[in-house]
Structure 1
Amino acid sequence: MWAKIGETAGRVYHLLEEGEKNLSSLTKILRREGHNTNLVIMAIGWLAREDKINVIKDHGKWIIRLK
């Protein structure tokens, strides 16, 4: 399971290199690529724990961006 979370975290990181994204758009992109929603959430947590991203709530949406 750790490998899948790490792989998904890497994909999230690369998507965020293109610019900040909200949680729903990240989830939508990654679900199309075969990652389930829970895996995306765990990957975001992984990146947050590693202090690689900022997660901000803005007008009811979760915005994720690289530090």
Structure 2
Amino acid sequence: MENLWAKIGETAGRIYNILLEGEKTLSQLEKILRKEGYSPSVIKMAIGWLAREDKVDVLKDNRKMVIKLKNP
């Protein structure tokens, strides 16, 4: 059985590095990360992890969510 906490932490780090390039929508992040083998549920948990640590802002713009770093 896979250690889920480790996978979520790894994914959070990857998301953080992607967001250093600029804000992304949830769809954009999922597209990038799914190509790298990350699952959609782990991606969402990792975004929650980063939000809980106050590293990202998650904004809703009409029908899409935008994720950006607070202090890159």
Shared fold per TM-score greater than 0.5 = yes
2:33 counterpart residue number: 30
Counterpart-to-counterpart distance in 1, 2:62 and 2:21: 22
TM-superposition CA deviations, 1:3-43 (whole Å, max 9, x none): 00000000000000000000001001000000000010000
Q: Which of these two proteins has the greater Rg computed from alpha carbons?
A: 2
Runs of 4+ residues over 2 Å off in structure 1: none
**SS of the residue 1:65 aligns to:** strand
RMSD, aligned α-carbons? 0.4
- Shift in Å at residue 59 of structure 1? 2.0
Verify: 1:65 aligned to 2:68, yes or no.
yes
User: Once the 2 structures are TM-superposed, how far is the Cα of residue 46 of structure 1 from its aligned partner?
Assistant: 0.2
Distance 1:61 1:37 in 2: 16
AA aligned to 1:30 is L
Aligned residues: 67
Q: How do 1:1-67 residues align onto structure 2 when only pairs under 5 Å count? A: 1-67=4-70
Counterparts of 2:62 and 2:69, CA distance in 1: 19
Task: Work out the percentage of aligned pairs sharing the same amino acid.
Answer: 64
**Structure-2 separation of matches of 1:25 and 1:39:** 15
> Which runs of 5 or more structure 2 residues have no equivalent in the other structure?
none
